[in-house]
Amino acid sequence: MKRKQAEEIIKSVNETGKNIKSTKGKILYILLLLIVAVAVVLGGAFLGLWDNLADPDATDPEASVSTCKVHYIDVGQGDCELVECDGKYMLIDASENGHENEIINYLKTLGVEKLDYVVVSHQHSDHIGGIPEVLAEFEADNIIMPRLTKSQTPTNSTYKAFLNALKSSEAKITEAKVGAKYNLGTATFEILGPVTNDAEDINNMSAVVRLDFGENSFLFTGDAETEEELEMLDNGANLDCDVLKAGHHGSSTSSCNKFLDAVTPEICVISCGEGNDYGHPHDKAVNRIKKHTDDVFRTDLCGDIVIVSDGKTLSVSYENSMR
Compare residues 201 and 310 and give the one whose CB is closer to Zn ion.
Answer: 201
Compare residues 152 and 186 and give the one whose CB is closer to Zn ion.
Answer: 152
For the bound state, the minimum distance from the C-beta of residue 75 to Zn ion, rounded and expressed in Å, comes to 11
Q: Is 279 helix (H, G, I), strand (E, B) or coil?
A: coil
For the bound state, the minimum distance from the C-beta of residue 95 to Zn ion, rounded and expressed in Å, comes to 9
For the bound state, the minimum distance from the C-beta of residue 186 to Zn ion, rounded and expressed in Å, comes to 30
Compare residues 76 and 185 and give the one whose CB is closer to Zn ion.
Answer: 76
d(CA 287, CA 252): 10
Report the sign of the C-alpha dihedral through residues 153, 158, 161, 165, in that order: negative
Compare residues 126 and 231 and give the one whose CB is closer to Zn ion.
Answer: 126
For the bound state, the minimum distance from the C-beta of residue 213 to Zn ion, rounded and expressed in Å, comes to 25
For the bound state, the minimum distance from the C-beta of residue 79 to Zn ion, rounded and expressed in Å, comes to 6
Strand partners, 175: 145
Compare residues 85 and 272 and give the one whose CB is closer to Zn ion.
Answer: 272
Name the one range near Zn ion by CB under 5 A: 118-126, 172-180, 235-243, 293-301: 118-126
For the bound state, the minimum distance from the C-beta of residue 73 to Zn ion, rounded and expressed in Å, comes to 14
# residues near Zn ion by CB under 5 A = 2
Strand partners, 117: 90, 142
d(CA 234, CA 264): 17
Q: Are 75 and 93 in contact (CB under 8 A)?
A: no
What are the counts of helices (DSSP H) followed by strands (DSSP E) for the chain? Answer: 11, 15
In the chain, the amino acid numbered 23 is T
Compare residues 126 and 212 and give the one whose CB is closer to Zn ion.
Answer: 126
> First CA to last CA across the chain, in angstroms?
110
96 binds Zn ion (CB under 5 A): no
For the bound state, the minimum distance from the C-beta of residue 253 to Zn ion, rounded and expressed in Å, comes to 12
126 binds Zn ion (CB under 5 A): yes
Name the one range near Zn ion by CB under 5 A: 57-65, 98-106, 124-132, 172-180: 124-132
**E strand or H helix that includes residue 1:** none
CA of residue 170 relative to chain centroid, distance: 27
Q: Interface residues for Zn ion in 188-247 (CB under 5 A)?
A: 223
Name the one range near Zn ion by CB under 5 A: 4-12, 122-130, 163-171, 299-307: 122-130
96 φ/ψ sector (left φ>0, alpha ψ -120 to 50, else beta):
beta
Spell out the SS3 assignment of 21-54: HHHHHHHHHHHHHHHHHHHHHHHHHHCCHHHHHH
Residues lying near Zn ion in the complex (CB under 5 A) are found at 126, 223
